[in-house]
Amino acid sequence: MRMPCLIIFVFALMLALPADAQTQGGNGRGNSGYDGNDRDSNQTGDNWPPRRVKKQPPPRRVIIVPQKPVPTRRTRPKPPRRVPKPLPGHAVLGTPIDLTHSVRTPLIRGDVRLLPDGDFEFIAVGPQDESAAAVLALTGAGAAFLRQSNYPNIDRRSLVFDANGLTLQQIRELLDTAAPGTEADTHAIYRFASGTPRLYAAEMVATPDSGACTLPDRLRIGQIDGAIENTHPVLKETGIITHSVLQNRFAAARRDHGTAVAALMVGQDETGALAGFAPGATLFAAAAFGAEGAGGATDVERIAAALDWLVGQDVRLINLSFAGPANRALEELLRTVAEKQVVLIAAAGNQGVDGAVFPAGAETVIGVTAVDAAMRRYRSANTGDHVDFAAPGVDLYVANSEGGGYASGTSYAAPILTALAARLVGNGVTDPDTLRDRLRQASVDLGDSGRDPAFGWGLAKVPGC
């Protein structure tokens, strides 16, 4: 009985010992989980039991993911997109046409559109489903296809060609076979049905020996009016010097009136429609009319400033296409300027009254009324002793900001007389009294015999240039 009890006791004691002590004995390594840096397990004293070393965690694993290279910006320009080039004289329907090479700047001769080489431009119009066949037939015969336009609402397409020597009859015969529903013809030009301007003024004031007059640029003409459109086609090549006396106190009036007056004197137009009566002369244009009231207005102060500037520019012939009440201050200004051997020519006015208006009413100023192509006085023109001469001024074709148009008034008769006077000045007639006499001698009597309040001495004419 004692032996079994002893065995049980020893076994219980072994169970009570720590697991570390169970490995004691010999020099062998224990299996305690220490790492290879711990001391031998047979050491005693202060080093026993062996010091537990804290197990170090395994090193952190760093996973490096390779990055895709970032593409750098292209520094070289992209090559141009290659477009298939059609065969000579061909183009592909339904694709854009290179206008730089395929379409040439058109010209016009009469009522037909031309190409720069002088050939006619031809146009064919037909159903859209015939276009390809039409192009192939004509380009195959040598024509050059220039451009196309689609009209989907009417199921038609136009094709424009350079015939390259093909006649219209040959083009039509080719289309009769390849595209029977397509018609071809020359590319015609159409214009507004407004008619050409009726021009009569030049014929009325000319004499058989007048010819084509061009005055020297040293001859100076002045005008006091509204601002002018000096970029107008008939004025942009002329010698015009402008000056404004508005002094930023007033907005400028419309340019139509000043432009018309300037063109009647110095306009240059090869067609003759807007040609002036004193081309070649240098015009000094003083802008004195502001946007006040109906059509613009000026005053004595601005007229004075304009007269002063013109005299300072050595101008000896001045047109005044405006009218207003008699005024002693203005009369004094006009008298002072006339004493400097300056010829002043003014419109008689359009108020339809019998009486003098200024500046034409001043004794030192030549007054001008307006007549039509039948030499009848303008119905709104003023009459009176201030009327010295008549000139065309009814339904005149004059320059304006939109090109040209018809206008009536003594404002347009005055510059014609001023231009005729400039011709005399160009021939050496510089004395104001002599100039008046020469104008009177050349005039055609109208109305009552001799001078009368309606026409003055009559229709002004000037022999020669």
Sequence-ordered list of residues with C-beta below 8 angstroms from that of 241, at least 6 positions apart, any chain: 282, 283, 284, 285, 313
Dist. CA 28–CA 79, nearest whole Å: 81
Do 439 and 456 meet the contact criterion of CB atoms below 8 Å apart? no
Cis, peptide link before residue 359, omega less than 30° from 0: yes
* CATH classification (class only), 99-186: alpha beta
**Domain spanning 201-442, CATH architecture:** 3-Layer(aba) Sandwich (3.40)
Would you state the pLDDT for residue 409? Answer: 95
Q: Determine the pLDDT at residue 31.
A: 40
Nearest Cα to Cα of residue 397 among 220, 237, 271: 271
**Cβ atoms of residues 170 and 164 within 8 Å:** no
Q: What are the tokens at 204?
A: 């009325």
Instruction: Calculate the CA dihedral of residues 57, 58, 59, 65 and round it to 10 degrees.
Output: -130
Contact 242, 306 (CB under 8 A): no
Taking the alpha carbons at both ends of the chain, their separation in whole angstroms is: 170
DSSP per position, 100-153 = HHH-PPPEEETTEEE-TTSPBEEEEEE-GGGHHHHHHHHHHTT-EEEEEEEEGG
User: pLDDT 10s digit of each residue in the chain, 465 long?
Assistant: 555 555 656 555 565 555 444 444 444 434 433 333 443 444 444 555 555 655 666 666 655 555 555 555 555 555 554 433 443 333 444 443 333 333 344 465 566 677 887 777 889 999 999 999 999 999 999 999 999 998 888 888 999 999 998 999 999 999 999 999 999 988 876 655 545 577 889 889 875 545 467 899 999 999 999 999 989 999 998 989 999 999 877 788 889 999 999 999 999 998 888 999 999 999 999 999 988 766 788 899 989 999 999 999 999 999 999 999 999 999 999 999 999 999 999 999 999 999 889 999 999 999 999 999 999 999 999 999 999 999 999 999 999 988 999 999 999 999 999 999 999 999 899 899 999 999 999 999 998 999 999 999 999 998 667
- Nearest Cα neighbor of 232 from 262, 199, 194 is 262
Q: Is 424 exposed, middle or buried (0-12, 13-18, 19+ CB in 10 A)?
A: buried
What is the model's pLDDT at position 281?
A: 95
Determine contact, residues 138/168, Cβ cutoff 8 Å.
Answer: no
Alpha-carbon dihedral sign for residues 6, 11, 17, 20: positive
The Cα 369–Cα 459 span in angstroms is 9
CA distance 226 to 296: 8
- How far apart CA 173 and CA 179 sit, in angstroms, is 10
Q: By C-alpha distance, which of 256, 251, 363, 345 is closest to 298?
A: 251
Where in the chain are the domains? 99-186, 201-442
Asked if the bond preceding 50 is cis, omega within 30° of 0, the reply is no
Q: Angle at the Cα of 74 (from 73 to 80), degrees rounded to 5?
A: 145
